[in-house]
A and B are shown apart, each in its own frame.
Chain A
Amino acid sequence: MSLLQSIKNSVRKRSIHVCYVNTGSCNGCDIEILACLSPRYDLEQYGIYVHNNPREADVILVTGGMSPQWIDKLPDLFDRVPEPKAVVTIGNCPISGCVFNRPGCVIDPPVSKYIPVTAAVPGCPPRPTEIINAILSAADILFKNYEEKEAKK
């Protein structure tokens, strides 16, 4: 591992910027992500910052089962996120559509049909601690030695 790579690793470990995108959820998962911000869970002690701006994000949290407006906009939003990037889906909706995936609905799950998904946190809704755990473990695997892994490809 080069010196530059080890500096990059240690910086990235403490600075994960998160953007959450509600693609048709019921709000429950979004509020659990917000609850992570509270001093009780203190998301920022792990170096995770919720900015909600795709252009400076490292991790996108997707909640919801793809409503019609998002079908072209979500891949577009994914393109704007700078490399390295990861997508973590929160809740059951992005995986299966949860209770909404019934005849007559307008959503079209799963999210992985439209953008590559790194990790999924099931639950309706998952607890804040599970969300933090998922972001940390996914980011650790994906961002460590990113440049060296890219060069080998």
Chain B
Amino acid sequence: MELVYERDLRSMKLLILKGTSQDEAVLSLAGRLGISRQHMRKILINGCDMMTLENIVPRLLAADKAAEGISDVLSIPHLTTALGLLSDEEGKAFISRVEAGESVDSVKKAIMEVLA
């Protein structure tokens, strides 16, 4: 008898992300970060568990309300409180880097490096 406890969940996670409302949410987040839908899906599948993926729509809506100023440009609330892809400290560090005078584009690139 073979024990099958941990199995590959990627196909089932993709099935969740293909749902109508979830797909729209993934597209809008991908637009925010300036990456393709496939790349966004890959990041989400590797970083989030299945329940967060189901609940992606209300969480991103709440993050949209919380975002303002620099954090809105960098989509920090979406990545920290909403999806948990970055920790709160990392999010604050990125915001302070922009406030210290670094260009938004280079910080965005740094965020993408952390995500990938």
**Direct A/B contact, Cβ within 8 angstroms:** yes
Q: Footprint of B on A, CB under 8 Å?
A: 68-69, 72-73, 76, 79, 106
Chain B, 1-32, contact with A by CB distance < 8 Å: what is the 0/1 string? 10110010000100100000000000000000
Q: What's the Cα separation between A100 and B4 when bound, in Å?
A: 27
Whether A76 and B12, one on each chain, are in contact in the complex, defined by CB atoms closer than 8 angstroms, is: no
**Partner of A79 from B1, B7, B12, B15 at Cβ < 8 Å:** B1
How many inter-chain residue pairs (CB < 8 Å) link A and B?
Answer: 11
> Closest CB of chain A to B38's CB: distance in Å?
22
Select which of A68, A69, A76, A106 is within 8 A of B1 by beta carbon: A76
Q: A76 near B4 (CB under 8 angstroms)?
A: yes
**Within the complex, what minimum Cβ distance (angstroms) separates A58 from chain B?**
20
- Give the residue name and chain of the A residue nearest to B5 (CB): A73
The DSSP consensus for interface residues of chain A is: helix
Chain B residues with Cβ below 8 Å from A69 are 7, 12
Q: Is the Cβ of A106 less than 8 Å from the Cβ of B15?
A: yes
| A33 CB → nearest B CB, Å | 25
Q: A69-B12, A72-B7, A106-B15 are in contact. List 7 more A-B contacts (CB 8 A).
A: A68-B12, A69-B7, A73-B4, A76-B1, A76-B3, A76-B4, A79-B1
Of all chain A residues, the one with the shortest Cβ separation from B4 is: A72
Q: How far is the CA of A68 from the CA of B4 in the complex (A)?
A: 13
Bound Cα distance A79, B3 (Å):
11
Chain B hits for A79, CB < 8 A? 1
